[in-house]
A = this chain, B = another copy of it.
Amino acid sequence: MEAEQASNEKRIITMKDFLSHISLDCVVFGFHSNQLKVLVLQMKTTSTWALPGGFVYEDESMEVAASRVLKERTGLNEIFLHQFHVFSDPQRSKQNPAVPDMILAGVTFPEKSWFEKRFISVGFYALVEFSQVNPQPDELSDACEWINLENIGILMLDHNEILQKALETLRMQLTFQPIGYNLLPEKFTLSELRKLYETILGKELDRRNFQRKILAYDILTRLEEVRQGVAHKAPALYKFNLVNYKRALDEGLQGRW
């Protein structure tokens, strides 16, 4: 206790000690031809792949900044978006390979040492409808593409870790909430919805039990239409019943106590 006191008096607090830079990175999930995909950028000078990200303006919340960034990368407004973790290992942004790209892009900064400071990044995950997205590279990259989750290689900085954590979060949320609304087109079959669940969870689900369970939630509306032009029996199309879907989200679906 006395040691505490002493160190308190001795210490002179200088706010320069506390300067960090804050950024955000987004893991954008899409679903197409029964595969989960992630939106990634290829950096200009190093050709390494990276998650879309950016900085936050002074008058923005992190959420607004993430929406802005994703609007630029996908063309979409009103994206389903959730923050899931802050990545702040002081080593994470050493030798940031994006710095040459920033200089190339004409980024100016207040002082020479600006890029030597570490970056703290807030991770967001987004769920988007694959077909609605028009991928656009940013100033630092010359490609923006969907890559199958299983084909994602080494990403810039700690972006593999960010992706991993996003996936874990998505799996957790899936148990609680009827995700799928944001990833699927308006009309879909139960098999497509099941494949999505199987892909996210990384395991197979019993076709018949899945069907009854998801229908029991009463969040789907069966349409008159069936999917045409496929082999075998034509499956019925469904869409989400928004009212019941939102109610289910509020209540949560499992876990009692």
CB <8 Å contact, B90 and A60: yes
CB <8 Å contact, B17 and A57: yes
**Distance of A257 Cα from B110 Cα, bound (Å):** 51
Q: How many residues of A contact B (CB 8 A)?
A: 55
Given the contacts A136-B4, A197-B257, A19 and B86 also touching, CB distance less than 8 Å = no
Which one of B15, B134, B257 lies within 8 Å of A1 (CB-CB)?
B134
Q: How far is the CB of A216 from chain B (nearest CB, A)?
A: 13
**Distance of A175 Cα from B257 Cα, bound (Å):** 7
- Chain B residues with Cβ below 8 Å from A175 are 255-257
In chain A between 44 and 92, which residues have their CB closer than 8 angstroms to a CB of chain B? 55-63, 72, 75, 83, 85-86, 88-90
CB <8 Å contact, B20 and A58: yes
CB <8 Å contact, B118 and A19: no
CB <8 Å contact, B18 and A55: yes
Residue among A134, A201, A255 facing the most chain B CB atoms (10 A cut-off): A255
